[in-house]
């Protein structure tokens, strides 16, 4: 058994099994057994189930938010607004989106081709700790609606809401064996999922280094593979940006969920002409963020995910100093003034200036409340800087000229770009990265395509 801790208090809140190959094999057997009946339902029947799951989760939405906040250390208001809300809407969205899916038909002079979709089979879903149920449901919903059965492993650091999902499915008499959740560590439980020969597809969200292991194991087995990996995203402030709006937007992009969102803008690139005017506004926006008790409704930034992660983030702050950086704001651990939080893993939002764009702190994914600021002298240089890391997940551009912003966005090697906004999501759009940020896309049709196999049936006319 493994201890599961609340990172804001350092207290053990649960114990989870570290499942092994035999446990994963049992889960896969259950999923295989349930597959014929589940795929045999009509699409309409599966859509009804998705809506029922959404309804049941909605009735527990406060429970989801509280559990997620306790498990991750994120502020309760954020857990309500983002985690609970999106977990529910993921099911509603894919129910609606699948309804609109039509079959392609290609007519020849003497035959008709019917392109039909079949489920892939038993699919393996592996997810990280930063948005636990949000990212798990983002995979579970499309997998289910396309007729697959599931073996899923949440992060060992945040198992609670996956368990809550399992309980919810049980309470609504969801067919047994269709969704199987196995808890445990990556190298044991996760690896067993990757290696199981009856699991036909792997949808993975997590770090780039883990993604390499996933690809190395599942690739030679010809499993269908979706990899959503890390990022080092740029927030680009052009010389014509509204500085107040850009400062608030860049601060939100850098520090939401303590900077632990794969889409966070952890490098802010600023036109030299406005650098001195922008930075004080940015620092003011960061200083206004309240760090502390996740249970407090007015908290903006809670703890990071674990003590070990806090130490990793603090070691990057030390490295930044050695690399010649200047800490302009924050830079240290915080111990909130609350008895239960004395062992919590809190870090003040940290702003670092004067680092080279090629320094380790400006190129490696820190995945914490740390942002580096960089000056550029031309649009060309800004694009070069934005594209200068191994990653290519997301980015945002701030300008008063949206045509210029869109042109700029076209030159950045990332899967997701925003102009004058950040984390503004339409679930129908493709989501995913290029370069070492991943392979494949999720969202809308892209998720439904991943969780289905196309077959062409060519029927000769009578």
Using the rule CB under 6 A, give the single segment among 14-22, 57-65, 75-83, 204-212 that binds ligand NAD. 204-212
Shortest gap between Cβ of 208 and ligand NAD (angstroms)?
A: 6
Helices within 257-366 (DSSP H only): 275-287, 307-322, 360-363
16 binds ligand NAD (CB under 6 A): no
| Site for ligand NAD, residues 89 to 128, rule: CB under 6 A | 126-128
Of the candidates 392, 428, 424, the residue with the CA atom closest to the CA atom of residue 411: 392
187 binds ligand NAD (CB under 6 A): yes
| Site for ligand NAD, residues 148 to 177, rule: CB under 6 A | 153, 155-156
Strand partners, 375: 270
State which residue, 210 or 372, has the beta carbon closest to ligand NAD.
210
Of the candidates 247, 236, 233, the residue with the CA atom closest to the CA atom of residue 270: 236
Using the rule CB under 6 A, give the single segment among 27-35, 170-178, 183-191, 353-361 that binds ligand NAD. 183-191
State which residue, 290 or 425, has the beta carbon closest to ligand NAD.
425
Among 49, 93, 94, 129, binds ligand NAD (CB under 6 A): 129
Decide: residue 9, CB within 10 A, 0-12 exposed, 13-18 middle, 19+ buried.
Answer: buried
Strand partners, 392: 434
**Judged by CB under 6 A, how many residues of this single chain contact ligand NAD?**
31
Find out whether 266 and 276 touch, Cβ atoms under 8 Å. Answer: no
Q: In Å, what is the CA distance from 124 to each residue of 109, 364, 448, 457?
A: 42, 28, 15, 28
State which residue, 190 or 294, has the beta carbon closest to ligand NAD.
190
State which residue, 127 or 168, has the beta carbon closest to ligand NAD.
127
Find out whether 27 and 209 touch, Cβ atoms under 8 Å. Answer: no
Shortest gap between Cβ of 338 and ligand NAD (angstroms)?
A: 27
Residue 64: count other Cβ atoms within 10 Å of its Cβ.
26
213 binds ligand NAD (CB under 6 A): yes
Active-site residue numbers?
228, 262
452 binds ligand NAD (CB under 6 A): no
Among 7, 75, 186, 336, binds ligand NAD (CB under 6 A): 186
23 binds ligand NAD (CB under 6 A): no
Using the rule CB under 6 A, give the single segment among 69-77, 175-183, 185-193, 375-383 that binds ligand NAD. 185-193
271 binds ligand NAD (CB under 6 A): no
Strands (E) across 304-451 are located at 326-329, 333-334, 346-347, 350-353, 370-376, 391-392, 394-398, 416-419, 434-435, 438-439
CA distance 199 to 85: 30
Using the rule CB under 6 A, give the single segment among 52-60, 227-235, 371-379, 405-413 that binds ligand NAD. 227-235
Using the rule CB under 6 A, give the single segment among 14-22, 59-67, 202-210, 346-354 that binds ligand NAD. 202-210
Shortest gap between Cβ of 15 and ligand NAD (angstroms)?
A: 16
Find out whether 160 and 4 touch, Cβ atoms under 8 Å. Answer: yes
- Burial letters for 222-252: b for 16+ Cβ neighbours within 10 Å, e otherwise? ebbbbbbbbbbbbbbbbeebebeebbbbbbb
CA distance 183 to 164: 13
Q: Which two tokens stand for residue 154?
A: 């949440």
Tell me the per-residue interface mask from 355 to 394 with ligand NAD, x by CB under 6 A, - otherwise. ----------x-x-------------------------x-
Find out whether 389 and 397 touch, Cβ atoms under 8 Å. Answer: no
Q: Which two tokens stand for residue 32?
A: 């295989």
Among 4, 148, 203, 210, binds ligand NAD (CB under 6 A): 210
Shortest gap between Cβ of 300 and ligand NAD (angstroms)?
A: 20
- Which of the 8 DSSP states describes residue 420? S
Among 140, 169, 262, 313, binds ligand NAD (CB under 6 A): 262
192 phi/psi in degrees, rounded to 5: -65, -35
Q: In Å, what is the CA distance from 456 to each residue of 68, 118, 121?
A: 43, 11, 18
| Site for ligand NAD, residues 417 to 436, rule: CB under 6 A | 433
Shortest gap between Cβ of 41 and ligand NAD (angstroms)?
A: 29
Shortest gap between Cβ of 23 and ligand NAD (angstroms)?
A: 14
- Burial letters for 99-130: b for 16+ Cβ neighbours within 10 Å, e otherwise? eeeeeeeeeeeeeeeeeebebbbbbbbbbbbb
State which residue, 245 or 363, has the beta carbon closest to ligand NAD.
363
* Binding positions for ligand NAD, rule: CB under 6 A: 126-130, 135, 153, 155-156, 185-187, 190-191, 194, 205-207, 210, 213-214, 228-231, 262, 365, 367, 393, 433, 438
């Amino acid at each position: 058994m493994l201890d599961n801790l609340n990172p804001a208090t350092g207290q053990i809140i649960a114990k989870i099994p570290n499942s092994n190959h035999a446990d994963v094999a049992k889960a896969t057997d259950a999923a295989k057994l349930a597959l014929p009946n589940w795929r045999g339902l009509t699409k309409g029947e599966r859509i009804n189930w998705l809506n029922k799951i959404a309804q049941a989760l909605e009735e527990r939405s406060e429970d989801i938010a509280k559990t997620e906040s306790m498990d991750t250390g994120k502020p309760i208001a954020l857990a309500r607004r983002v985690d609970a809300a999106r977990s529910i809407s993921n099911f509603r969205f894919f129910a609606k989106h699948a309804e609109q899916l039509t079959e392609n038909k290609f007519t020849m002079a003497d035959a008709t081709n019917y392109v039909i979709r079949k489920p892939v089979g038993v699919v393996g879903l592996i997810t990280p700790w930063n948005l636990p149920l949000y990212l798990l449901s983002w995979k579970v919903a499309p997998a289910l609606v396309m007729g697959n059965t599931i073996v899923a492993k949440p992060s060992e650091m945040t198992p609670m809401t996956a368990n809550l999902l399992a309980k919810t499915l049980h309470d609504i008499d969801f067919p047994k064996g269709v969704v199987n959740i196995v808890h445990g560590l990556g190298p044991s439980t996760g690896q067993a999922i990757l290696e199981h020969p009856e699991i036909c597809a792997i949808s993975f969200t997590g770090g780039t280094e883990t993604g390499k292991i996933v690809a190395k194991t599942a690739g030679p087995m010809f499993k269908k593979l979706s990899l959503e990996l890390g990022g080092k995203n740029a927030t680009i402030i052009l010389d014509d940006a509204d500085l107040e709006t850009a400062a608030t937007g860049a601060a939100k992009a850098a520090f939401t969920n303590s900077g632990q969102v794969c889409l966070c803008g952890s490098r802010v690139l600023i036109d030299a002409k406005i650098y001195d005017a922008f930075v004080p506004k940015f620092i003011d926006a960061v200083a206004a963020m309240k760090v502390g008790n996740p249970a407090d409704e007015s908290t903006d930034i809670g703890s990071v995910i674990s003590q070990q992660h806090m130490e990793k983030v603090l070691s990057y702050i030390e490295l930044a100093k050695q690399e010649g950086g200047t800490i302009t704001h924050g830079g240290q651990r915080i111990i909130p003034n609350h008895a239960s939080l004395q062992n919590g893993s809190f870090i003040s939002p940290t702003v670092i200036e004067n680092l080279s764009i090629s320094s380790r702190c400006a190129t490696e994914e820190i995945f914490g409340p740390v942002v580096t600021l960089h000056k550029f002298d031309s649009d060309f240089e800004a694009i070069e800087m934005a594209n200068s890391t191994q990653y290519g997940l997301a980015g945002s551009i701030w300008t008063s000229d949206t045509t210029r912003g869109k042109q700029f966005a076209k030159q950045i090697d990332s899967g997701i770009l925003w102009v004058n906004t950040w984390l503004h999501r339409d679930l129908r759009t493709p989501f995913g990265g290029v370069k070492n940020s991943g392979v494949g896309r999720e969202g809308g049709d892209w998720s439904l395509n991943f969780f289905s196999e196309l077959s062409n049936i060519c029927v000769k006319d009578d």
